[in-house]
Structure 1
């Protein structure tokens, strides 16, 4: 029997952590053949060459597509897309996948999506329908939705939005966020093991800080980082800082945070490349997350972890009760951290439910894999009709 070839694209360490369970589910199914294309930040020295983490999970990389990401400017990212489009076109022409899987909203994903569209390869898109009004990710995500034939949103609200965008309801399946599967039966590090690997004490209170560029609208990134660091310093909390992504000005943020950590050794820890297991282990033991990462909205609720969400990068996304939204000012961030550490707020989270965990059984990746395996692939899958909806009818 000819196995169906499912090609998964991954461009960053964070995205791979969310896709890892699905890749393993595809690999384990005798009816399917897993193909993996690694690209983007995975291949760059400045971002830790995290493609090694993929192979460390026992997953073979079939092709590497270099995009030369630097995070230095918008024009540099435009040039990266040009390189990526050529590279993904060549890779997919050789691999000839039956379905291409993309997750999320990184601008790098436009390159494989356009290549697949031109090569008439059906796209399955995970985490569509979401909003991040403070970032260009919004436009990228919606563009991917319109290029995709199969959709796997993470909440019911997002499912309805995709249908509102004209997509066929039978092709839009809400199983929840696949990245949460790894929390079930996860072999997380003990506190002492994690401290040993980090070389950093987790004696509470400790914050995890991740701050990405705000790519839509005006903003002085230097002033934003100064406000972030000022609020954290004034709070008196110790902190682990992770790396910003390859969006424009991400390199500026990383340089500033690294210098601050080196100057405040013992209080601040620069940990740019944690890997998914160490990252999830950190969420188990830290006291609060600070910054503007989507992880604060998706994974952190499963740990009942307070999150001080800074600025408007994640504006529009579904939130659980663990989110404390604050503007990017020193005083607001300081107040947000104080609230997050208060016993009153922490007690209020005891019965909180993660809105991204629909079934809560760790089998979201399996459900997505089954749809990828069982969906009929024909010209009809690529031929998309616009699904009109009546006003008020969802």
Structure 2
């Protein structure tokens, strides 16, 4: 039997791969680890850029590809795809026989992996648990994965407390910060001219970085969100707009269609990229005047490099906030006024205030723990005794 620990890592999209990349690099370089990368979901879809190719371009071999058959954006397709994913992981995981399966976040493809691993009696390590995003159905998925996982790597102390509150053993809940922030110091630094040359675009060099995803718990708000965002951008004439692609949640096509129509109507200034890749994204993030939309990147990564964010709607409601974030409802005039505050220097958060998700180092901490922890102490898992929690008061009749 090999003395190397077999660790499998699941990635379902360009977004989570960017967060996992530093962890993968450290595990791949470790002599005591046999790493397996499993690509699924959006990575395999031509509409989303077949981003599994970026994983291989970074030097990682893909041990298994699991297609969830995401042919459209209907809720029933996503639900059916999750079931297809469980079947795919049930086929792949026994062949890879990992000692630990690593998953990140709260997407449906990650839920499929966790369900299969639980039924196959494979220990699960979960990254980014304990968080709240009240505008999406992600909360239910994220917390369900927490209950299936035995190792937890959270991004902030309030999230650690929430995971323990859910009955998880405190000894196996690690506050490491957000792994995505590790790229802040390692991604190449470019000038705006160099970035635009790499992207093959022209136009005003001052720009906004824009990403908008469906608000899955409140799908009725998607039309208002995209309408307000694009209405505000239409009022700006001296900036370029760099859009990154919509993710594969239910309802994504209406948002994607609206963005594509806007880009087509603004040739030379508006540009849509299915995926920028981690290095180009971080270069763009550093150089942008602001990040705007409802992506978690505006909440986690943008504050780490001192770039202000405008967060639209409720998709990220409940996450810890840095002082550099402006929350806006779906109102074009309010969004436009927030942008002007940023452009004119009227919005200047204190750069000395440490963002709530730390300033990097999570990838090293996660990889080191995965390599060295005595997994038999954590698995089979035992729930934390909450007997010391006071009983709730009797209801008033």
> Taking structure 1 as reference, are residues 224 and 181 closer, same or farther at Cα in structure 2, changes over 3 Å only?
closer
- Partners of 2:177 and 2:105 in 1: CA distance: 13
Please state if 1:300 is matched with 2:302: yes
Using structure 2 for the length normalisation, give the TM-score: 0.94
Contact preservation (8 Å) 1:72, 1:252: no
| Post-superposition offset of 1:89 | 0.7
Alignment correspondent of 2:394: none
Alignment correspondent of 2:395: none
- Partners of 2:46 and 2:187 in 1: CA distance: 29
Contact preservation (8 Å) 2:8, 2:101: yes
Contact preservation (8 Å) 1:304, 1:352: no
Contact preservation (8 Å) 1:298, 1:356: yes
Count of residues paired in the alignment:
389
Alignment correspondent of 2:320: 318
> Taking structure 1 as reference, are residues 204 and 59 closer, same or farther at Cα in structure 2, changes over 3 Å only?
same
Q: Which digits, 9 at most, give the CA deviation of each residue in 1:317-364, with x for residues without a partner? A: 011001100101211211221222231313x3432322212xx3x432
> Taking structure 1 as reference, are residues 230 and 8 closer, same or farther at Cα in structure 2, changes over 3 Å only?
same
- Partners of 1:118 and 1:380 in 2: CA distance: 17
Contact preservation (8 Å) 2:204, 2:269: no
> Taking structure 1 as reference, are residues 93 and 75 closer, same or farther at Cα in structure 2, changes over 3 Å only?
same
Q: Which digits, 9 at most, give the CA deviation of each residue in 1:43-74, with x for residues without a partner? A: 00000000000011111100000112245111
- Partners of 1:333 and 1:186 in 2: CA distance: 30
Alignment correspondent of 1:45: 46
- Partners of 2:221 and 2:174 in 1: CA distance: 39
Q: Which digits, 9 at most, give the CA deviation of each residue in 1:105-148, with x for residues without a partner? A: 11211110000000000000000010000000111111110110
**Aligned residue runs from structure 1 range 226-375, under 5 A:** 226-236=227-237, 237-346=239-348, 348-357=349-358, 360=359, 362-375=360-373
Superposed CA RMSD in Å reads: 1.8
Alignment correspondent of 1:181: 182
Alignment correspondent of 1:84: 85
Alignment correspondent of 1:215: 216
Moved more, 80-89 or 66-75: 66-75
Alignment correspondent of 1:99: 100
Q: What secondary structure, in the 3-state scheme, does the structure 2 residue paired with 1:125 have? A: strand
| Post-superposition offset of 1:367 | 1.3
Alignment correspondent of 2:170: 169
> Taking structure 1 as reference, are residues 164 and 3 closer, same or farther at Cα in structure 2, changes over 3 Å only?
same
- Partners of 2:308 and 2:297 in 1: CA distance: 12
Unaligned runs of 5+ in 2: 392-397
> Taking structure 1 as reference, are residues 173 and 238 closer, same or farther at Cα in structure 2, changes over 3 Å only?
same
Moved more, 57-66 or 230-239: 230-239
